[in-house]
Structure 1
Amino acid sequence: MAENTDWLLFEIRDRYFALKAQFVREILWFLPLTPTTLGSKGIFATFPLRGEIIPVFDLFFSWGAEPSPYKSSYQLLLLDSGMALPITNVLEVISWEDPKKEIHPDSTGAWEERVWKNKVVSLLHPHMFLPLEQRENGDLSIAEEGDSIQLVDTKRKNWDEFFLPGEENSKLNWHNLCYSIMSESEHKEVNARKDSYTALATVIETGGMEPISIVKVSEESYGISLDAVLEFSDPSHLTPLPGVTNLLVGCMNLRGEVLPVLGLDQILGNQTDRPYGFGKVVIIKEDSQQFGILVDELVDVVYKKEEDRRPPPLGTRDLEGMIQSSYKHGDGFINLLNISTILKRTKQELH
């Protein structure tokens, strides 16, 4: 019987793909890219990150497709192989059975196709993100250590040890037509992110940073400590529960476990009608309990210095202790939700 695995679903150029989540090291916002003529087919640029030079691999470049301009809103998947993959956006994490085929991906790297919300999703094999020479020479093996699975190359080479004669112009051309063509304002935005990531790396090494997921509901933004967040999911799986408190908007089945889902809008005392399936569900773990919180939008993930945490500013709406603290964010403040208080209040309503 095939085992279930978590897959990260994402979009590139209106096409849908998935990778085993365990092969994704980090999700980054788009950063400045420097062109390179080194590396195997598909690699065309690099960027520095925490003392490493990360090669950037574009799926469509490796397939010989026409260039398409990037946007500053794009993201980069940093993979365990050490490469970064430019994508339009991350969609969600879903549990699927492992493919039944032998591990022999075709030349496109597509392992198998699945259907998700009436859309075809190509499952990508991690083999795809190794240098072509290593794939062809069969230097790949998979090692299991506890719950983690990693790619191991029996004849490992660094990405920059590969050079494809005659590919220099195509690599530079891809960089020019996909990255350099971005507008001045978009270049300014990604350069600001570079400075932010550089400063962040220094502070993280010494500790003292709190990761916060910023969510939006009824045009207001709030923060949820990422330490309490397990994952994000789609509300189309939500089943309404009539006859209970309006704080509980329904329940959902997440990999065999039924979770209650609370409406952040209702918790905050708003009464806005929304169409079914609208928004995103933030899966929370508080103590030993798991539940979901329905929000309108996932805005960003930011890191704030714990020493900059402040009481909510004067004039903040009294929400009976559901605002834990506040951080300066942009030209204003972001209020951090008190998950413990929210859960306690919901339990009181239910009883």
Structure 2
Amino acid sequence: MLTIAPEFYLIFSVNSSLYGVEAQSVQEIFSLPELTPIAEAPREIIGVVNLRGDILPVMDLNLRFGYNQLEYCLTDSVIVVEWQKLRVGMIVNQVNEVYNISPEDMTKELFYDREVPDRSRSFVCDMAKVAADIVMLLNIENLLSYSKSVEPLDGDKNKYNLALETVKYTKERIFCPQATPEDRAIFRERSQNLMRSSEKEDLTGLIPLAVIGLSGEYFGLDLKLVREFTDIRKVTPVPCCPPHIVGNMNLRGEIVTLVDVRRLLNMPMLGAETTAKVMVVWVDDLVAGIKVDEVFDVMYLHPAQISPVPAAVHSINDEYLQGTAPYGGKMMSLLDLQKMFNKGDMIVNEDI
């Protein structure tokens, strides 16, 4: 019996739905930057960005599928894919993981007794089971082809090439008009960072950081300790635990304990009850989830930009802070996760 080898797919979410693309077509992933709108461009091409000297068009997948445009936020990402030397960025809400999907977990039988459309032109080529989720696997060739009339989940690769076809608009196009001045500064900083040539940029000695938000404050932490970002799902409380232990969450079969570091930092719990994001970290041999309000960025910080903790920040428990640095026109505090987990009573060893 012939066995077909599984393939790797990058899974991501757009408007609460899960999609996947072949991992080999993905070139890179970065946080959504400020985009430059183009007056004569297809409706779904929101703008372009200077990616280390190359002009990269960036697509809104909601518009490509024929849905309404959603507001963009700092937690959105851009996945750069390539097909026949055509590179396009796709705006997604969250990047999950690369999964090894077997053919037996896929199905093309989506319509049963209904009339089956021409699937060779569809954006979705398969549906797949990934853990407890259903993922729509996209056909990159069809997705990166353009037609004047776009219907949901339908494309026509034989009419117009995405890079050549243009549609004129009479309405002024502005990238992310609802963004606050602070958010716009971060979007702009990201685009400036992407503009730098990889050959000229020396990352030696720079510190990779993940930038998160807690109760209205910016915090940076060592990116090497971060395993992934994900949404908070059903949380099961754990009895007889300290207040900072929120409970346990089932993450694709792995039980992850959620903690709230605000209590250790003596911070107000503003927004803590409505937060929907968790940052999964790996400190030594311990895997845990940290509740966060927002995930802003991934950046490289020069050690010379780090300053001592000023007196104004002493309202926060600075025992677990390594210093401060500028970010987005404000001050960012640098968290010492190693010390927080090893000396902050984050680990509960008592038997219940």
Trace 1:257-268 onto structure 2 (pairs within 5 A).
257-268=254-265
| Counterpart residue identity of residue 122, structure 1 | M
In structure 1, the gaps of 5 or more residues are 133-161
Question: For the Cα contact (< 8 Å) 1:68–1:178, is it kept in 2?
Answer: no
Q: Which residue of 1 aligns with 2:56?
A: 54
State the shift of 1:181 in Å: 7.6
| Counterpart residue identity of residue 123, structure 1 | L
d(CA) in 2 for partners of 1:218 and 1:66?
A: 33
In structure 2, the gaps of 5 or more residues are 109-117, 147-157
Query: For the structure 1 residues 270 and 245, does the alpha-carbon distance in structure 2 shift closer, same or farther, using more than 3 Å as the test?
Result: same
Asked if residue 322 in structure 1 is aligned to residue 320 in structure 2, the reply is yes
Q: Could you say what secondary structure the match of 1:245 adopts? A: coil
**Structure 1 stretches of at least 4 aligned residues deviating more than 6 Å after TM superposition:** 1-6, 40-45, 184-188, 273-277
d(CA) in 2 for partners of 1:342 and 1:276?
A: 22
Residue of structure 1 aligned with 2:137, choices 120, 123, 128:
123
Residue of structure 1 aligned with 2:309, choices 298, 309, 312:
312
- State the Cα deviation string for residues 268-319 of structure 1 (Å, max 9, x = none): 2347387877331101122333221112222333332233222222343263
Question: For the Cα contact (< 8 Å) 1:69–1:177, is it kept in 2?
Answer: no
| Counterpart residue identity of residue 281, structure 1 | V
d(CA) in 2 for partners of 1:34 and 1:271?
A: 40
Corresponding pairs, count: 316
Asked if residue 216 in structure 1 is aligned to residue 213 in structure 2, the reply is yes
Query: For the structure 1 residues 43 and 265, does the alpha-carbon distance in structure 2 shift closer, same or farther, using more than 3 Å as the test?
Result: closer
Trace 1:133-148 onto structure 2 (pairs within 5 A).
none
Q: Which residue of 1 aligns with 2:247?
A: 250
Question: For the Cα contact (< 8 Å) 1:47–1:55, is it kept in 2?
Answer: yes
Trace 1:62-141 onto structure 2 (pairs within 5 A).
65=66, 75-79=77-81, 81=83, 83-87=87-91, 89-90=93-94, 92-93=96-97, 98=102, 99-101=105-107, 106-113=120-127, 122-129=136-143
Higher helix share: 1
d(CA) in 2 for partners of 1:246 and 1:53?
A: 50
| Counterpart residue identity of residue 168, structure 2 | N
Question: For the Cα contact (< 8 Å) 1:4–1:96, is it kept in 2?
Answer: yes
TM-score, normalization by structure 2: 0.67
- State the Cα deviation string for residues 323-350 of structure 1 (Å, max 9, x = none): 1222122444211111111111235664
Q: Which residue of 2 aligns with 1:153?
A: none
Query: For the structure 1 residues 257 and 312, does the alpha-carbon distance in structure 2 shift closer, same or farther, using more than 3 Å as the test?
Result: same
| Counterpart residue identity of residue 85, structure 1 | G
Overall identity of the aligned pairs, in % = 18
